[in-house]
Amino acid sequence: MGGRILVADEVATNRIVLKVKLSSAYYDVQLAETAAAARKAMRRGGLDMVIADARLGGTHGLTLCRTIKADPSTMHIPVLLLTADDDPELRLKALAAGADDILDKPPEESLLLARVRNLLRARETEQELHLRDGTHAALGFAEANQPIMDPALIAFVVADPAEGMRLRRSVSTLCEDEVMILSRDETLGRKDDSPQPDVFVIPAGLMSKDDGLELMTELRSRGATRHCPVILTEAQVESSIAARAFDLGASDLLRPGADPRELVQRIKTQVRRKRLADALRADVRDGLRAAVTDPLTGLYNRRYALPHLSRVREAALRNGRDFAVMLIDLDHFKSVNDRFGHPAGDSVLVEVASRLRDNLRAKDLIARIGGEEFLVVLPDTDRGQAEKAAARLCGVVNAAPVRVEGLGEEIGVSVSIGVSIASPGLSGGSPTIARLMAEADDALYGSKSQGRNQYTLSPQAA
Amino acid sequence: MGGRILVADEVATNRIVLKVKLSSAYYDVQLAETAAAARKAMRRGGLDMVIADARLGGTHGLTLCRTIKADPSTMHIPVLLLTADDDPELRLKALAAGADDILDKPPEESLLLARVRNLLRARETEQELHLRDGTHAALGFAEANQPIMDPALIAFVVADPAEGMRLRRSVSTLCEDEVMILSRDETLGRKDDSPQPDVFVIPAGLMSKDDGLELMTELRSRGATRHCPVILTEAQVESSIAARAFDLGASDLLRPGADPRELVQRIKTQVRRKRLADALRADVRDGLRAAVTDPLTGLYNRRYALPHLSRVREAALRNGRDFAVMLIDLDHFKSVNDRFGHPAGDSVLVEVASRLRDNLRAKDLIARIGGEEFLVVLPDTDRGQAEKAAARLCGVVNAAPVRVEGLGEEIGVSVSIGVSIASPGLSGGSPTIARLMAEADDALYGSKSQGRNQYTLSPQAA
């Protein structure tokens, strides 16, 4: 089934016509004949979209839209307003009220369905970023209502630089945003690392018929610009171009001769959406990073380390090179905590973690896998190299005591290390991860029982 | 700039023509005239796509493709093969070698560019799932090489049921997958919770001109099917329909009269991709869930709890209803660890967490925010209700000792609770989160110093 769409219109015929059109694409259509009935349907919930007459009961279409867009629990529901008046002020008011679009009444069927698909697809993408089940909201990161302060960078793509200047002038009196003028070739030839626009504005027929749509699909296929909204201008909304543009992923469409204020309003809406979506994407990355990171030391955690070790082992089985595993335990850590308190203990952990990390190669892994226990994985490392690395790590940790902010005395630190080596090149030389960890643990125990502050290599595999 | 594309063809003219076509869309084109030169370019890295003559140096085009698709570090690079022969066996071999498509030579420009865009867009989406910077690989979840065992569910959409039967017969002799036959209306009217196909196969002109494309865009706009690949059949690849289909997001295209084995091969490829992408998406969800969860008790962690508390406070400021905050500390936990060992201590934590959780409402939050410390947030809860809840929680924890597997004796447990209440309805009644936490902490301290196993309410705000 398609989504559930509420249609609000005072005139029964209008409601019925819309219902028939939408039902043909298997949307689940609900009808309301007053703004009050529409609000009631909203409260029942479960709606994916609202299509309302802008003048429902006078001006209640706009009020309804404002209400929906002001409530965090409904603001993501697309609102499509319809109007029979050719009134630029009403169009502006509708967009300012947060309407996702305002279409002429009655809307042409293929355009209506394409716009509905387009808005629902955008909503699905957005919901996916929210992770549907609320995990994202649960993370408590970017919230929908952040004010957007920074000026945006708007790119107008034009065939003629003079047209660009005219556009820039008409827009700059209306907003604080920065405007750049690009040709088609400049748009496509732009370096990926140059600042990307927050929104592209492209004429549907940039230089020839429909080539604005092609430029848009190019931008959509590129990593640097695929999430940039594209507003197509000069598009006859009555024509099949408009429906195609929406199906190809246009974020919005502006008819020929539209008021510049309307363009600016539509730009604002797209920029706000893009920034929110960017923030949500960044949150997903941060959240995932947090899932594999130890918050105290910033090292990877156990969850990360063990699969990583498996991958290192698999690579070694392919390339036949040795690799080494170290278990490192901070000596006498409990007594540090007991004598100086937990905050001092934490400082010691952070400092030791940093000394260890700074003395490993970029391709080595270090993770904190327990309270005072670290795991180090060294790919492409044979017995001799592993021994040198272990000696170095013992040395740098023990070289100087740790100074703790606000504590009178310095705390002497040392680590004990157990090392195991896998030699997949030798026959019988591809021990399991469990075996390698157990060997390293036995070796660590050896270091501890021999007096700490030293490393032990597990005996060579038979 | 567009992506970097390697063009491999023995004939200089062919290389130049392709380079001109691709450069017009600002792709960065590299040329190779032998399979050896192509392999060398692959090793240098940084390629986004390979376009090669299938018969490069005899059959080396296929070998090159196989090599690229066998190496985990390059398997995600799309490979487009070209052939001047009308040889169904070669087409099959190309697809079996992992080619993303095989096009006639020379390819028509708009079709070529649309297919390139389409494949690069799919690659971008896939890379985004991999999170580009390697975080995803870092998580160590789903790996690319998982064998895919389960039979797929293939949906053939047809205008005529007899045609569906014919298709089913021709396909079922070639694969083990399950085939379902749907009409357009059945496809659109399907319940979201019925099993979704792994792939849709739709004729470009299902019942009338191009309406297969429209059906595809409908499926793309719906949450339940937006990630299902769609293979369009009966599409004249020479016509503009093919280019449009790719720009609208078709996963693949099959020309009229194609060998059923070709269809089955293309279906296999799409199913494999979809399953990998689904696994990656699930990993993102799991990873994020892990970021906000305490692994021992399964409760939310501090990272989750504090933003959640802020949201509860904001909602309370809007609706004017009281809410309560509890800090709960497990009594004498250190001595449990000392006497019975850490594993027993962990069991006690898990059991107490479960008793607390089972005695809260669904809308309440409980999180483990420290070793033996829990935070409970109770929305829409006044002083009297909070007191009752605290008394109940003290009671259920203390009601029975904890039985620990493998331990001779049972461990008696109790908690101390500190409660603070926010009354945003009262003047001056919207304390900050920090203030509420501090009040609850003071109250908790009161419970501890009064002998534990009890709750204390913070004094009513002035």
Q: What is the pLDDT of residues B406-423, one digit of tens each?
A: 888 899 999 999 999 999
A213 touches A245 (CB < 8 A):
yes
Q: Note whether A287 contacts B288, CB cutoff 8 Å.
A: yes
ipTM, two decimals, is 0.76
pLDDT of residue A462: 43
| Reported confidence tier of residue A427, pLDDT bands at 50, 70, 90 | low
Neighbours of A397 (CB within 10 A): 22
B1-107: CATH, from 3.40.50.2300, 3.40.710.10, 3.30.70.80, 3.40.50.80: 3.40.50.2300
CB contact under 8 A, A221 and B303: no
Contact: A121, B221; criterion CB under 8 Å: yes
Buried b (16+ CB within 10 A) or exposed e, B90-120: bbbbbbbbbbbbbbbbebbbbbbbbbbbbbb
Chain B contact set for A303 (CB, 8 A): 139, 290
Q: How far is A223 from chain B (nearest CA, A)?
A: 6
Tell how many helices (H) and how many strands (E) occur in chain A. 16, 16
Token pair belonging to B279: 């696994």
Beta-carbon separation of B190 and A223 below 8 A: no
Which helix or strand (DSSP H or E) is residue A93 part of?
A: helix A88-96
Confidence of residue A136 (pLDDT cuts 50, 70, 90): low
In eight-state DSSP terms, residue B107 is: P
In chain A, residues with a C-beta closer than 8 Å to the C-beta of B314 are none
Contacts of B185 in chain A (CB under 8 A): 26
- Band of residue A247 on the pLDDT scale cut at 50, 70, 90: very high
**pLDDT tens figures, A75-98:** 889 999 999 988 889 999 999 999
Between chain A and chain B, the number of residue pairs with CB atoms below 8 A apart is 144
What residue in B sits closest to A187 (Cα-Cα)?
Answer: B1
Q: A283: nearest CA in chain B?
A: B288
Identify which of B118, B221, B288 has the shortest CB distance to residue A135: B288
Please give the pLDDT value at position B180: 94
Question: What pLDDT, on the 0 to 100 scale, is given for residue A388?
Answer: 96
The reported pLDDT for the residue numbered A234 is 84
* All structural domains of chain B with their residue ranges: 1-107, 141-288, 302-457
* Fold equal for A141-288 and A302-457: no
Q: Find out if CATH 3.40.50.2300 is the number for domain B141-288.
A: yes
Q: Which pLDDT belongs to residue A159?
A: 93
State the architecture of B302-457 in CATH terms.
2-Layer Sandwich (3.30)
**pLDDT value at A210 more than 90:** no
| Alpha-carbon gap: B407 to the closest alpha carbon of chain A (Å) | 24
Tell me which residue has tokens 């590299």: B30
pLDDT at A49: 96
What is chain B's pLDDT, residue by residue, as a tens digit (462 residues)? 789 999 999 999 999 999 999 999 999 999 999 999 999 999 898 999 999 999 888 778 999 999 999 887 788 899 999 999 888 899 999 999 999 999 998 898 889 999 999 999 988 888 777 654 455 555 554 444 454 568 899 999 999 999 899 889 988 888 889 999 999 999 999 988 888 999 999 999 888 888 899 999 999 999 899 999 999 998 776 678 888 899 999 999 998 888 899 999 999 989 988 988 888 888 787 877 888 888 899 999 888 888 889 888 888 888 889 999 999 999 999 899 889 988 899 999 999 999 999 999 988 999 999 889 999 999 999 999 999 999 999 999 999 999 988 888 899 999 999 999 999 877 666 788 999 999 999 999 999 999 999 999 999 754
Mutate to test the interface with A, among B117, B221, B346 (most CBs of A within 10 A): B221
Average pLDDT over residues A148-177: 88
Average pLDDT over chain A, rounded to an integer: 89
Q: What is the pLDDT of residue A142?
A: 44
- A146 has pLDDT over 80: no
Residue of A nearest to B223 (CA): A124
Which whole number is the average pLDDT over A192-203?
92
Residue numbers in B near A121 (CB within 8 A): 220-221, 226
Give helix then strand counts, H and E, for chain B.
Answer: 16, 16
CA distance B110 to B98: 24
| Preceding omega of B197 cis (within 30 degrees of 0) | no
User: Among the options B218, B372, B387, B439, which is catalytic?
Assistant: B372
Q: Which residues from chain A sit within 8 angstroms of residue B133, using beta carbons?
A: 285
A156 has a pLDDT exceeding 70: yes
DSSP B285-331: HHHHHHHTB-TTT--EEHHHHHHHHHHHHHHHHHH---EEEEEEEET
Side chain identity, residue B66: R
Smallest CA–CA distance from B310 into chain A, residue: A140
Q: State the pLDDT at residue B144.
A: 43
pLDDT at B77: 93
Task: Dump the DSSP string for B360-395.
Answer: S-TTSEEEE-SSSEEEEEESS--HHHHHHHHHHHHH
Task: Assign 3-state DSSP to chain B and report helix, strand, coil percentages, each to 5.
Answer: 45, 15, 35
pLDDT in the model for residue A1? 78
Q: What is the largest CA-CA distance in chain A?
A: 91
> CB–CB of B360/B303 below 8 Å?
no
pLDDT at A429: 61
Please give the model's pTM, rounded to 2 decimal places.
Answer: 0.79
| A307 to B140: CB separation less than 8 angstroms, yes or no | yes
Question: Within 13 A of A318's CA, how many CA atoms are on the CB side?
Answer: 9
Is B372 assigned a catalytic role? yes
Q: What is the mean pLDDT of residues A396-404?
A: 94
Which residue, B419, B427, B421, is CA-closest to B445?
Answer: B419
pLDDT score for A139 = 55
